[in-house]
């Protein structure tokens, strides 16, 4: 009796552990713990449909979209959400100035490096050109956005 309770308790605990680690199939006889990836979200490329404001508020992102619409071919909504079309326009600007070749709307390390170079050359950024959108890059992007007119 006691051993069947113990077996049930162990089976239940193992099943719960399997569920919480995402695999009920692996919850049978042993639990394998996989290390979490410690990759920063800032260094992971965004998918083509993801909104990536890089720390900008909605109003700051709208300023960027207005500027991109006026000068860089952005035709999307002025909604303060920097999605694929916004980043394609930003990449057109970055390409024009020789910072990047890609115009895919994905904010990966190459786009972030190009943005960092643009921000540095315009006096907003003094950090490393490393492709990681850390706090310095985000602050510089926000400072730049604040210089753009609202309409």
Confidence at residue 106, expressed as pLDDT on a 0 to 100 scale: 93
**Number of alpha helices (DSSP H) and beta strands (DSSP E) in the chain:** 5, 0
Given this model, what pLDDT does residue 49 score? 60
CA pair distance 90, 146, nearest whole angstrom:
16
Cβ neighbors of 145 (< 8 A, separation 6 or more) are 56, 60, 61, 63, 64
Q: What is the pLDDT of residue 55?
A: 95
Query: What tens-digit pLDDT sequence spans the chain (151 residues)?
Result: 444 443 344 344 333 333 333 433 333 433 333 333 333 444 444 555 689 999 999 999 999 999 999 999 999 999 999 999 999 999 999 999 999 888 999 999 999 999 999 999 999 999 999 999 999 999 999 999 999 998 7
Residues 6+ apart with CB under 8 A from 96: 72
pLDDT score, position 143: 98
Distance in angstroms (rounded) separating the CA atoms of residues 26 and 8: 17
> Are 82 and 53 spatial neighbours (Cβ–Cβ below 8 Å)?
yes
Query: Between the CA of residue 102 and those of 13, 14, 50, 68, 123, what are the distances in Å?
Result: 49, 47, 17, 17, 24
pTM score: 0.69
């Amino acid at each position: 009796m006691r051993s069947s309770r113990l077996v049930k308790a162990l089976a239940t605990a193992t099943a719960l552990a399997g569920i919480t680690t995402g695999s009920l199939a692996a919850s049978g006889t042993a639990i394998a713990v996989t290390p979490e990836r410690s990759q920063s979200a800032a260094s992971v490329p965004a998918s083509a449909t993801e909104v990536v404001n890089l720390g900008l508020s909605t109003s700051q992102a709208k300023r960027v979209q207005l500027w991109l619409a006026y000068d860089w071919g952005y035709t999307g909504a002025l909604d303060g959400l920097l999605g694929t079309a916004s980043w394609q326009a930003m990449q057109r600007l970055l390409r024009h100035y020789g910072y990047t070749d890609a115009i895919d709307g994905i904010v990966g390390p190459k786009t972030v490096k190009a943005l960092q170079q643009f921000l540095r050359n315009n006096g907003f950024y003094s950090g490393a050109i490393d492709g990681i959108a850390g706090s310095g890059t985000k602050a510089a992007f926000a400072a730049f956005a604040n210089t753009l007119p609202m309409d």
